[in-house]
């Protein structure tokens, strides 16, 4: 059995396990129900189906008279008419559409993480499969899809975006750089057009973190500077109309009238993400005691992020070996390491609650509306 056949077999086996754990038992579940937030997305998708059969894909869906007496479509930052699930829904029923969407993006997440690990971070094939498997089974994607946060399906494009952006190009050619830049910009633009507006900032931060990690590993990315700039230009060109009308809509309907919730206490604000990411979610009762100043109920799926404790063990082992062997890091590597640490602390700072700090956050654009 050659390596390609082995890889395909492993890939199909992992996707099958993913389907049996996260898809088959929940679409629908044992009571015949779906995640409660699908009651938001299915009517929007049905409006998209009506629009498609009446006007086709070339006519922008500006408005629908349905959905509680009429609502904006294209101007809604979370509307997903130009997306894979909406396109699938033109031909399949909603539940089949969601199942196919989940499997498509789970596959893209696995393959992207594999290519990123192998071709950018120069890991072995087995190690790359190992890392891609962790990304495939991350709790954020799986449970957001289960509960009905359909706009987050594009999260699994993150590894492919990073792969196209940071792929080494030893024999750089303008044509190849242009192709890679255009590919990454299309994927990033898809996030916005498919209703993933809430993912734009987290994915941008993640891309910077991946870049810093590559720099710490002394991976040459100087050739990618022009590619990154071209990608940003492409993104602005592709998303200009959507960004413009979305910002105009958000300015019309203010969303900063509510208080920002946060975690009271520095120690606890460190423990909550560690537990959620590496050890498993909090219970429904716990989630409502975690956040201070919260106006709405926080449910369990909001903190379903688990990738198991194994990556934590790898991080601890790597850190221990680095310290014990007194790795001789260059000044530049130390600066990049500090930058990565500060970047990882950013989500903790945003979610830390203190009355004075909370007031500062309420004056920061975007964050004050989060």
Burial 101-110 (b: 16+ CB within 10 A, else e): bbeebbbbbb
Q: Kindly provide the residue ranges of all beta strands, DSSP E only, lying in the chain, ordered along the sequence.
A: 63-64, 71-72, 262-264, 291-292, 352-353
Q: How far apart are CA 110 and CA 125, in angstroms?
A: 13
> What pLDDT shows up at residue 106?
96
C-alpha of 220 from chain center:
26
> What pLDDT shows up at residue 222?
62
> What pLDDT shows up at residue 114?
96
Question: Is the N-terminal amide bond of 28 cis, ω within 30° of 0?
Answer: yes
Q: For the chain, which residues score pLDDT lower than 50?
A: none
> Which position has the token pair 């196209």?
164
**Paired tokens of 78:** 């979370």
Largest Cα span, the chain: 67
> What pLDDT shows up at residue 170?
63
Cα angle: 33, vertex 27, 151; to 5 degrees: 100
**Paired tokens of 70:** 């009429």
Alpha carbon dihedral 275, 203, 138, 300, in 10-degree steps, equals 50
> What pLDDT shows up at residue 223?
65
| Helix pair angle (94-115, 125-136), 10° resolution | 150
Q: Are 281 and 304 in contact (CB under 8 A)?
A: yes
* Neighbour count for residue 324 (Cβ, 10 Å): 8
Question: What are the residues whose beta carbons fall under 8 Å from the beta carbon of 274, sequence distance 6 or more?
Answer: 312
- Within 13 Å and on the Cβ side, how many CA atoms surround 26? 19
Q: How far apart are CA 344 and CA 43, in angstroms?
A: 37
């Amino acid at each position: 059995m050659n390596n390609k056949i082995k890889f395909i077999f492993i890939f199909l086996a992992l996707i099958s396990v993913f389907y049996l754990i996260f898809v088959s038992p929940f679409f629908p579940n044992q009571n015949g129900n779906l995640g409660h937030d699908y009651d938001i997305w299915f009517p929007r998708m049905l409006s998209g189906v009506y629009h498609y059969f009446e006007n086709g894909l070339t006519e922008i869906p500006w408005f629908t008279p349905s959905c509680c007496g009429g609502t904006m479509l294209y101007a809604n930052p979370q509307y997903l008419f130009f997306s894979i699930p909406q396109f699938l829904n033109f031909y399949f029923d909603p539940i089949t559409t969601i199942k196919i969407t989940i499997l498509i993006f789970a596959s893209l997440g696995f393959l992207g993480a594999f290519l990123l690990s192998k071709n950018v971070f120069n890991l072995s094939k087995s190690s790359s499969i190992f890392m891609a498997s962790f990304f495939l089974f991350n709790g954020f994607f799986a449970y957001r899809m289960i509960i009905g946060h359909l706009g987050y399906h594009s999260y699994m494009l993150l590894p492919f975006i990073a792969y196209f952006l940071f792929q080494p190009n030893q024999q750089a050619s303008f044509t190849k750089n242009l192709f890679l830049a255009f590919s990454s910009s299309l994927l990033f633009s898809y996030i916005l057009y498919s209703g993933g507006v809430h993912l734009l900032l987290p994915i941008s931060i993640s891309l910077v973190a991946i870049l810093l990690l590559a720099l710490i590993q002394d991976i040459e990315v100087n050739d990618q500077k022009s590619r990154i700039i071209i990608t940003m230009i492409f993104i602005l060109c592709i998303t200009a109309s959507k960004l413009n009308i979305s910002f105009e809509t958000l300015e019309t309907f203010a969303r900063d009238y509510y208080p920002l919730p946060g975690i009271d206490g520095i120690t606890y604000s460190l423990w909550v993400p560690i537990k959620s990411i590496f050890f498993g979610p909090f219970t429904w009762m716990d989630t409502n005691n975690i956040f201070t100043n919260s106006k709405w109920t926080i449910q369990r799926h909001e903190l379903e992020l688990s990738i198991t404790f194994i990556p934590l063990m790898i991080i601890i082992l790597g850190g221990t070996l680095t310290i014990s062997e007194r790795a001789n890091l260059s000044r530049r590597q130390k600066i990049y390491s500090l930058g990565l640490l500060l970047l990882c602390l950013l989500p903790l700072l945003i979610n830390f609650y203190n009355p004075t700090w909370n007031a500062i956050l309420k004056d920061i654009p975007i964050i004050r509306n989060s």
